[in-house]
Amino acid sequence: MKVKAILIVTIMVLSILPYTPETTLKSDNVPSFQASDADVAVTQLDITTPSVYVGAVPTVSPMNHIIRVTIVNFGGTDAEGTLTLEVNDGSGQSEVDSRDISISSGWTSNHIMYWNATNFPSGSSLIALWTNDPSSTDSDNSNNQLLLSNIDVLDVQSATRVADTLPNNDDVLAKGLWSGTISMINSGTIPVDVTADLSLTSVLGGDVTPITATTIQPPVGSLSSPALFTNIDISFDGTPLEGEYIISGEIQVTGALSATSTISISDISVTFDFSNAVLSTPIDRNVDPGEWTNISFLLQNAGSLSETFAVEHTNVSGWVQAPSVIYPGTSPLSLASGASTVITIPVEVPQDADISDSEMVTLSVISQSNNLLLERSVIVMAGELFQGTITQNSSHTSGVDHFNVEPGGESFTHEYILNNTGTAPAQYEINAAMLEAVPYWTIISPVTITNILLPGENITIPVTFILPDME
């Protein structure tokens, strides 16, 4: 007699660690699956907590750090051994953490380890080392360690200006509201407050017009995931201004480590004129792969007369889902004095976009009365997509989602394959159970929480069925 039941194996994304391929320490190992013995290689060493490259020198805060170490068994047999994290401070090598590990042939595994850098001087080296158990053989010992050398251990208070939408020198601006951004990254290892102290001064003298600026706290990055940029929003009202002005000032960086430091901004000469327009810049954004976003540019005719505009856009990666010419010169956009309109450009992030992928969309507006060109750019970055698929090994005639079970037989184990089909490293929670009641059956999954799986990586999950005796 056959009993038909439905087994459901669920996966849940639990957590992720940041991953940036360009800045991780990797080995150049070549797979050797044809080897009969095990061949375990340490392939990646990532510091995921506050750290930064100062020039070419890796620099970490004096704190307890989370280290992610990746190993791969390139050999033809399973391996048993110990993964050790060691530090060489110049006077000798000492162990700071270790894991006893069993890794199957062809598998990749990620392991979280810890290093308290508070007790070590600058110039230390961090070493991830694999040691095989005496009971097994490693066919290639040359790939058993990775080294990150000459590490400075100290706090760094720093921020860097990476971009801005300030006017260009000799730009003509409208007599109206103006807004822009200054993009900053935290290039240190501790939190900082960053703001801009800018103003407008007439070349003929008179009162100084302050430029309003927000204060931001750009996030601290790490060697494995460099800091993301954050925008300082700046604005002023140019309605009462006329003639030539100079934009001047500085960026101020404040933190707990030292006094406020400044980043100078070169003087910018601008002219305010009645016959003009204002084009706002949208905020850069992250969008998950497979999702859409609408980029909205606000165009305002700030002149005293009606105006017509030719409008077009350019893009880099081909994510924009709209014609490049929005309003041609032969059929321009017409705006009355003081009127405004929103120009919307749809962008779709591809389903297979990597985390590091991005699209830059630039909108160009030409005033047909005076050929004034306004250009604004926005960046759309691919966000992190968390998903996975799980399939089973089955050749059943009804498909891979089916297999036969004979009650009264001995216990058996069925294998499921979990694949990280997202774009970010992830851990998965595994639950195995029936969709309907099956008395006296026992279902056991030895894996309840997986190691961190990189995008495209898969593992095999064994599920054991203990069947009741039949009388």
Rounded mean pLDDT, 121-125? 96
Structure tokens at 84: 């050790």
Q: Quick one: fold of 18-153?
A: Immunoglobulin-like (2.60.40)
Which residues lie closer than 8 Å to 149 by C-beta, 6 or more apart? 125
What burial class does residue 281 get, using C-beta atoms within 10 Å of its C-beta: 0-12 exposed, 13-18 middle, 19+ buried? middle
pLDDT on residue 305: 75
What burial class does residue 28 get, using C-beta atoms within 10 Å of its C-beta: 0-12 exposed, 13-18 middle, 19+ buried? exposed
Q: Where are the alpha helices (DSSP H) in 270-408?
A: none
Q: ∠ at Cα 26 (39, 460), nearest 5°?
A: 50
Which residues lie closer than 8 Å to 170 by C-beta, 6 or more apart? 269, 270, 271
pLDDT (tens digit per residue) in 222-233 = 999 999 999 999
Distance between CA 451 and CA 71 in Å, rounded? 12
Residue 293, SS3 per DSSP: strand
Distance between CA 198 and CA 266 in Å, rounded? 11
| pTM confidence score | 0.55
Rounded mean pLDDT, 122-139? 93
Report domain 277-383's class.
mainly beta
* Contact criterion met (CB below 8 Å) for 162 and 183: yes
pLDDT (tens digit per residue) in 163-202 = 998 988 988 787 777 888 999 999 999 999 999 999 999 9
Distance between CA 236 and CA 208 in Å, rounded? 12
Q: Where in the chain is the domain with CATH 2.60.40.10?
A: 18-153, 155-273, 277-383
**Superfamily of domain covering 155-273:** Immunoglobulins (2.60.40.10)
CA-based nearest residue to 4, from 415, 410, 406: 406
Q: Select the more confidently predicted residue: 281 or 408.
A: 281
pLDDT (tens digit per residue) in 23-67 = 445 555 555 444 578 999 999 999 999 999 999 999 999 999 999
pLDDT (tens digit per residue) in 244-290 = 999 999 999 999 988 899 999 999 999 887 656 888 888 778 888 88
pLDDT (tens digit per residue) in 288-333 = 888 999 999 999 987 777 889 999 999 999 999 999 999 998 999 9
Structure tokens at 81: 């051994």
